Structure 1
Amino acid sequence: MEEVTEAINNVSISESHKKNRIQVSNTKKPLFFYVNLAKSYMQQHDEVELSALGMAIATVVTVAEILKKNGLAVEKKIMTSTVDIKDDSRGRPVQKAKIEIVLGKTANFDELMAAAAEERETAEGEEQS
Structure 2
Amino acid sequence: MEEITDGVNSMNLATDSQKKNRIQVSNTKKPLFFYVNLAKRYMQQYNDVELSALGMAIATVVTVAEILKNNGLAIEKKIMTTTVDIKDDSRGRPVQKAKIEITLVKSDKFDELMAEAKEEKETAEAQVQS
Residue 109 of structure 1 corresponds to 110
Identity of aligned residues (%): 82
- 5+ residue gaps, structure 1, are 1-13
SS at the partner of 1:80? Answer: strand
CA distance in 2, matches of 1:26, 1:104: 23
Corresponding position of 2:54: 53
- Give 1:101's aligned amino acid: I
Match of 1:83 in 2: 84
Query: Residues 34-55 of structure 1: CA distance to partner in whole angstroms, max 9, x if unpaired?
Result: 0000000000000000000000
The aligned counterpart of 2:93 is 92
Q: CA deviation at 1:28?
A: 3.6
Q: CA deviation at 1:29?
A: 1.0
The residue correspondences of 1:36-75 to structure 2 (distance < 5 A) are: 36-75=37-76
Structure 2 residue runs without a partner (length 5+): 1-14
Q: How many residues align?
A: 116
Which amino acid in 1 is paired with 2:91?
R
Looking at structure 2, the residues matched to 58 and 123 of structure 1 have their Cα atoms a distance apart, in angstroms, of: 32
Q: Write the distance in 2 (CA, Å) between the matches of 1:29 and 1:62.
A: 14
Structure 1: distance between partners of 2:74 and 2:129: 33
Partners of 1:55 and 1:123 lie apart in 2 by 37
